[in-house]
Structure 1
Amino acid sequence: MSETKEIKASTDPDSGYMFRGGKPEGFFYLDHRTVDLKYNLITDVHVTPGNVHDSVPYLSRLDRQRERLGFKVEAVALDSGYLTTPICQGLRKRKIFAVIAHRRFHPKQGLFAKWKFTYDAESNSYICTEKHRLTYRTTDRKGYRQYALDPEHCKTRPMLAQCTVRRQVWLSTTTTFHMAG
């Protein structure tokens, strides 16, 4: 028996399908606005398909304003949706001070807490409670680094249901690793 998959399509090929908690679901556009703190004026508006994360166009829009309008940006304040590795690194590279709201991560009930895993910066890996190494696999578009270990190590492990391999890791200015969440 074959499975059927529902494919959502829009009559507007430039829109994007948005699915976010607390937001309406469907094909939308998003508008991104930049506001000047001193005069509270909108200095930039940019529209993207609804499936483009808010943080994606940020640095290019910031650069555009700096170049076209001659803004000498020294500091920015951003909401938690902009707390991504590319933005943090991009602002640091541009020598722009940033205040970014912290995301409130709520660990899933029953999983090991982040402090149960030890980060090894030299090999960019984590060591679990059973001393197995979780190696880096990829970084998703939200800035989450995904680590995994050989499933054979955990096949018969009684604590398997309490493990997690998804953590968000940020490189701070002091080159130590901090885990958010």
Structure 2
Amino acid sequence: DSGYLTTPICKGLSDRHIFGVIAHRRYHPTRGLFPKWKFQYDSEQDRYICPNQQTLTYSTTDRKGYRSYKSSPETCSSCPFLENCTKSKKYQKVITRHVWEDHKEKIRQNRLTVSGKNLYKKRKEKIERSFADSKQLHGLRYCRLRGKRNVSEQVLLTAACQNMKKIATYLAKRS
């Protein structure tokens, strides 16, 4: 599910050495402006390069871990791409990049590899089917109780039931 394509999840997969494959998340940039992917990130010098080959240098990092890169207002004010770049009255483009963005890019690249494509095809057979089964047949569409602990109990019991059904089916086929 593309909702899992977040930097903390991608970082967690990388830390555990898991080959993650997550669906592509549609990116909707502001209409008429260049999307972020038009700006090239230079990891060696920690900067972005705009479509007009000008640099956006590191400015600051906020508490959530997003690094800000800003362009020079003097350079941008005379740029031919200004209308397609920013609506800022200060003639300055700002791009943010999370400190764990490298992990997210790695997960995106995994999806495009041969093994990533094969894994993604199995998603509808294995995972989506299991979710649908738990919602339709085991009452997991709505949780009966409130609170993280109670919901965790219900989910674990549902998973245990599904596993018992799989074991019973396997044993029936074997004998």
Give the TM-score, by structure 1 length: 0.41
Greater CA radius of gyration, 1 or 2?
A: 2
Which structure is higher in strand share? 1
Report 1 or 2 for greater relative contact order, CA contacts < 8 Å, sequence distance ≥ 6: 2
Give the TM-score, by structure 2 length: 0.42
